[in-house]
Amino acid sequence: LVKVEDIVPVAQKPALSVRVSEASREADGTREIEFAAEGRSEAGIEFYSWDFAYDEERGFTPAVIMDKTGVQRAKFRAGEYTIAVKAVGSEGLENTELVRLKLNGTIERAAD
Protein backbone atom coordinates (compact mmCIF):
# COMPACT_ATOMS: atom_id res chain seq x y z
CA LEU A 1 0.00 0.00 0.00
CA VAL A 2 1.46 3.37 -1.07
CA LYS A 3 0.38 6.76 0.28
CA VAL A 4 -0.90 9.27 -2.27
CA GLU A 5 1.64 11.89 -1.15
CA ASP A 6 4.45 9.41 -1.95
CA ILE A 7 3.28 9.34 -5.59
CA VAL A 8 1.89 12.85 -6.14
CA PRO A 9 3.19 15.86 -4.23
CA VAL A 10 0.45 17.35 -2.05
CA ALA A 11 0.44 21.13 -1.76
CA GLN A 12 0.60 22.55 1.75
CA LYS A 13 -0.28 26.02 2.95
CA PRO A 14 2.70 28.25 3.77
CA ALA A 15 4.06 28.62 7.29
CA LEU A 16 3.97 32.25 8.43
CA SER A 17 5.48 34.32 11.24
CA VAL A 18 5.55 38.08 11.84
CA ARG A 19 8.15 40.20 13.65
CA VAL A 20 7.00 43.51 15.14
CA SER A 21 9.25 46.42 16.10
CA GLU A 22 8.94 50.13 16.77
CA ALA A 23 10.50 52.14 13.93
CA SER A 24 9.92 55.66 15.30
CA ARG A 25 7.98 57.69 17.85
CA GLU A 26 6.61 61.16 17.22
CA ALA A 27 6.11 63.96 19.79
CA ASP A 28 2.31 63.56 19.68
CA GLY A 29 2.61 59.89 20.74
CA THR A 30 2.07 58.43 17.28
CA ARG A 31 4.27 55.44 16.62
CA GLU A 32 5.48 53.98 13.38
CA ILE A 33 5.53 50.20 13.68
CA GLU A 34 7.42 47.90 11.34
CA PHE A 35 5.98 44.48 10.52
CA ALA A 36 8.20 41.88 8.88
CA ALA A 37 6.46 38.73 7.64
CA GLU A 38 8.35 35.56 6.88
CA GLY A 39 6.49 32.96 4.86
CA ARG A 40 7.92 29.53 4.16
CA SER A 41 6.69 27.19 1.46
CA GLU A 42 8.40 24.55 -0.65
CA ALA A 43 6.82 26.15 -3.72
CA GLY A 44 7.83 29.68 -2.65
CA ILE A 45 5.85 32.73 -1.56
CA GLU A 46 4.21 34.83 -4.28
CA PHE A 47 3.12 37.80 -2.14
CA TYR A 48 1.80 39.09 1.18
CA SER A 49 -1.39 41.08 1.85
CA TRP A 50 -1.92 43.33 4.89
CA ASP A 51 -5.06 44.43 6.77
CA PHE A 52 -4.06 47.02 9.40
CA ALA A 53 -7.60 47.29 10.84
CA TYR A 54 -8.66 43.64 10.86
CA ASP A 55 -12.13 42.91 12.20
CA GLU A 56 -13.31 39.31 12.39
CA GLU A 57 -16.93 40.21 11.54
CA ARG A 58 -15.90 42.28 8.50
CA GLY A 59 -13.30 39.74 7.40
CA PHE A 60 -9.92 40.27 5.76
CA THR A 61 -9.91 43.61 3.92
CA PRO A 62 -6.34 44.34 2.81
CA ALA A 63 -4.92 47.86 2.63
CA VAL A 64 -1.85 46.41 0.86
CA ILE A 65 -2.70 43.66 -1.61
CA MET A 66 0.48 42.45 -3.35
CA ASP A 67 3.53 43.04 -1.18
CA LYS A 68 6.49 41.08 -2.56
CA THR A 69 8.92 41.96 0.30
CA GLY A 70 6.87 41.09 3.40
CA VAL A 71 7.88 44.31 5.18
CA GLN A 72 5.42 47.11 5.92
CA ARG A 73 5.30 50.15 8.19
CA ALA A 74 2.17 51.79 9.59
CA LYS A 75 1.47 54.58 12.08
CA PHE A 76 -0.68 54.07 15.17
CA ARG A 77 -1.82 56.12 18.14
CA ALA A 78 -2.25 54.63 21.63
CA GLY A 79 -4.86 51.88 21.62
CA GLU A 80 -5.42 48.25 20.71
CA TYR A 81 -5.18 46.99 17.15
CA THR A 82 -5.46 43.73 15.27
CA ILE A 83 -3.35 43.45 12.14
CA ALA A 84 -3.77 40.52 9.74
CA VAL A 85 -1.15 39.44 7.23
CA LYS A 86 -1.75 36.80 4.61
CA ALA A 87 1.00 34.88 2.80
CA VAL A 88 0.05 33.41 -0.58
CA GLY A 89 2.23 30.62 -1.89
CA SER A 90 3.11 29.89 -5.51
CA GLU A 91 0.57 27.05 -5.55
CA GLY A 92 -2.22 29.45 -4.53
CA LEU A 93 -2.55 28.22 -0.96
CA GLU A 94 -2.53 30.84 1.80
CA ASN A 95 -2.07 31.29 5.53
CA THR A 96 -3.08 34.23 7.73
CA GLU A 97 -1.41 35.42 10.94
CA LEU A 98 -3.05 37.87 13.35
CA VAL A 99 -0.97 40.33 15.35
CA ARG A 100 -2.65 41.99 18.31
CA LEU A 101 -0.95 45.21 19.39
CA LYS A 102 -1.54 47.22 22.51
CA LEU A 103 0.19 50.60 22.40
CA ASN A 104 0.50 52.73 25.51
CA GLY A 105 3.68 54.02 27.16
CA THR A 106 5.66 51.17 25.58
CA ILE A 107 5.09 48.83 22.67
CA GLU A 108 3.78 45.41 23.67
CA ARG A 109 2.55 42.46 21.69
CA ALA A 110 -0.70 41.45 23.32
CA ALA A 111 -1.13 37.80 24.32
CA ASP A 112 -3.32 35.73 22.00
Which domain CATH number covers 99? 2.60.40.10
Q: Which domain holds residue 12?
A: 4-109
Query: According to the model, what pLDDT value does residue 105 have?
Result: 61
Give the chain's domain count: 1
15-48 core/surface letters (b: 16 or more CB in 10 A; e: else): ebebeeeeeeeeeeeebebebebbbebeeebbbb
90-104 core/surface letters (b: 16 or more CB in 10 A; e: else): ebeebbebebebebe
What is the full per-residue pLDDT of the chain (112 aa) written as tens digits?
A: 877 767 766 678 999 999 999 999 988 889 999 999 999 998 899 999 999 999 999 999 999 999 999 999 999 999 999 999 999 999 999 999 999 999 886 555 566 5
Query: According to the model, what pLDDT value does residue 104 have?
Result: 81
Query: According to the model, what pLDDT value does residue 108 have?
Result: 53
